[in-house]
Structure 1
């Protein structure tokens, strides 16, 4: 989408925000608001269009923040979504319970969906607070499938987190997803292995504390171990899975000896060890 087209569509979308539908009253046409479902779709379209225009405009003028594009519908759209975010962040700060914070984030997320879709659709990287915040909320609420497009966007464009976070984006992404996976695994549940592998791949060259990377390697190794306990599999694929998991868990321990993987490593080493030769029997 070109810059000129983005501005044109943003203007037309903003104009349509107040669109009304004609109704007949006493032979004279009057105007009535668009009904709920159509109005909701229209608002989402407006949000997506304005967000894309904001991203493209800000990318074309790097010195200009997305919240300060003068004299355009994007300015109002960006101001409104950022005001909503600040209001929601204040609401979250007033909640003490982690569980209730997560519930509140789950309720808030739909209000940002269309705007974030517009930012992603623009295909450019812009330093702003909404998309990274929503990415983190998606992770916090366990919606990892919805978080991954945002993760990919953040890492592809090397975007920063809002100032309130004291970590780099790769470090936060790795640690938050690894800890979520380890928590599920500790409860006996599985975590999506392709997601873990993709996070490892996307952040392979990123600098972060070894302890953070070790958590991710441990979570991957635990998932790689699952075929080992599947007695329906043939011995060869089970052994291959054990070897792969052993390599990953050894890497986790190399990064952080206290990561908590040594028992699993010992078990895998025993499974992969060649059988001991039985001493030959001699006749009496």
Structure 2
């Protein structure tokens, strides 16, 4: 895509939000017939919104026809660049998007970004959505905070189960973004487990004298996960973290009655 086309998409997306409080809901749906005269008289931003609506309809239909999870992820990775400049324009407009096409594009692309591993971009979209109260489409059956937390937590736990590391900054970012949001305890426990497992793994790879802070952080997260959901499966890791912390924590020196060191 040319630089001029990318710039145009960003500008039109921003104008769509600025000119329509509903984020483009007034645009005729892609599947509905429209007259040539109506299409010719439509504003550039409304025509751009209609094109995005048509693309999203086509892409969702295509994904529904794909059975393999790996192939679905590959398809989403191929699809996302076509929405990226539109999303940049909406983000720069920094306004509510109501219930129009933008309210479909934003959450859908956020989930796709998680699926393909673009976690930082997904968190940016989630922050925008939460700030402007953009709701998830009904098909996701959860609110924005729960989706971003649970989907990234599950991605982290899957990677960790395979022996792979997961970016701790991403987990901490999700924890910060969703702090104080009302959601089921089981969902929050997943994120805390992922944080605790990652902190424990990093502590085990650290030098003994520098591992204590990570072990304490791991224990805080794992114990809170256990408190929120007693079947989250962290008991063994808590015991391991406690054992490692005891091994690297120096014993306090004994003192005599005058407060002096007994070895003096």
- Report TM bin, short chain: 0.7 to 0.9
TM-score (norm 1): 0.77
Is the aligned partner of 1:77 residue 2:48? yes
Report the CA distance shift for 1:272/1:57 in structure 2 as closer, same or farther (over 3 A): same
Is the aligned partner of 1:45 residue 2:7? yes
The worse-fitting range, judged by mean Cα deviation, of 130-139 and 66-75 is 66-75
Match of 1:223 among 195, 198, 220: 198
Instruction: Specify the alignment match of 2:75 in structure 1.
Output: 104
Alignment of 1:259-270 (within 5 A): 259-270=232-243
Higher percent of residues as strand? 1
1:275 Cα deviation from its structure 2 partner:
8.2
1:216 Cα deviation from its structure 2 partner:
0.2
Mark the runs of 5 or more structure 2 residues left unpaired by the alignment: 28-40, 253-264
Report the CA distance shift for 1:202/1:191 in structure 2 as closer, same or farther (over 3 A): same
User: 2: CA distance between counterparts of 1:107 and 1:80?
Assistant: 17
Alignment of 1:1-284 (within 5 A): 40-58=2-20, 61=21, 64-68=22-26, 71-127=42-98, 128-231=103-206, 233-235=207-209, 237-273=210-246
Q: Which has the larger radius of gyration?
A: 1
1:129-148 C-alpha deviation (Å, 9 max, x unpaired): 11111111010011113322
Report the CA distance shift for 1:83/1:266 in structure 2 as closer, same or farther (over 3 A): same
SS in 1 for 2:97: coil
1:234 Cα deviation from its structure 2 partner:
4.3
TM-score (norm 2): 0.83
Contact kept in structure 2, 1:67 and 1:78, CA below 8 Å: no
SS in 2 for 1:43: helix
1:72 Cα deviation from its structure 2 partner:
2.2
Contact kept in structure 1, 2:168 and 2:198, CA below 8 Å: yes
Q: CA RMSD in A?
A: 2.0
User: 1: CA distance between counterparts of 2:81 and 2:23?
Assistant: 24
SS in 1 for 2:67: coil
How many residues align? The count is: 233
Contact kept in structure 2, 1:125 and 1:153, CA below 8 Å: no
User: 2: CA distance between counterparts of 1:275 and 1:46?
Assistant: 63
SS in 2 for 1:245: helix
User: 1: CA distance between counterparts of 2:172 and 2:251?
Assistant: 35
User: 1: CA distance between counterparts of 2:73 and 2:5?
Assistant: 26
